[in-house]
Structure 1
Amino acid sequence: MVKVRGQLSVEFIVVISGLLIILATITMPMYNQARADAEKVSKLADAREAAGTIANALNTVYAAGVGSKQTVEYWLPKGVVKIYANVNVDGIDTTDNDVAPDNRMDVQIWLDLDGNGEWDNKREAIILLETLLPSENNENRVIVGDEKFSVGSGLHRTTFTYEYRGGLRYIVISDIEVA
């Protein structure tokens, strides 16, 4: 059997090419999944930091009493569907897990992690932090107007003002998107 010159090189290139194709079909899905998981963790971390900033500002204004005011800045990631911070927010029921009410107002940030534009209704897609403020079930409640929260991604500057209105205590929220 006479071998043509260079046949071994061609066979080597074919075998190496086949191995690279097999390697690519295995590693690309793993890479894509790891990248998606890293993006999700990053969104959750940014949302948790924003919720912590909002909760701390509410606690500070509440503890300082009527007449106090505080302005904070925080970053919201893409995929935030809603921010709740009012006396009706205490606990949550999701399709996979529940958080029981504890008579303390919560700050909740609802996220869309699957990209369909709606909250995913799973515990992993919500950031929930307690505040010092009593919830609606408590007679010492403070009315918090959270309808002014903007959910656009980017930097936000939010002012919390504690005041009396008609004999009731209010924390007024004004939020603007900076960038």
Structure 2
Amino acid sequence: VHDRVVHHIVRQCPKMDRLTLSSCPQLTDVSLFEVGTYLPTIRHLDVSGCKKVTDTGVQALAMSCHKLQYLDLSSTATSKMGICLLASYCNQNLECVKISFCKEMTGDTIKKLCKNCKRLKLVHMYGCHSIHDLKTIQDVNKQVKLHHDLPLSAVTNRGR
């Protein structure tokens, strides 16, 4: 699947509320612009493994798709900037965000996401080894479950 296919799908199905585009190496931010433009009421989007998806595409989603409940950005080129945009603009309905193996994630980024997204219940952050203090993240929003593979020191507040 590539951007042109996504363009046709979203234009033909404006009421679609779930879309899985995982592991599509040709997919770029253009597809996320298309989703934001033609599917503003989408609730579930999976673009995991789409390595060409960046913060620019996430910004398009964050600014347009305010009903989004589930977003999987695992193994994309999304950074802390994209997650901060989600936390600022797409925070009303988000329940699950998956950012496993996204580079440059920080504890402050995840804290902002957990603090701003009041309905957030689950964050997957496997492979995000630059996060060092899960306890302070949990303290921001007690209802959020953090799925991770971080060392025990990160969980017990003895991180850096």
TM-score band w.r.t. shorter chain: under 0.3
Higher Cα Rg: structure 1 or 2?
1
The answer to which structure, 1 or 2, has the higher relative contact order (CA under 8 A, 6+ apart) is 1
- Higher relative strand content: 1
The TM-score normalised by the length of structure 2 is 0.22
- Higher relative helix content: 2
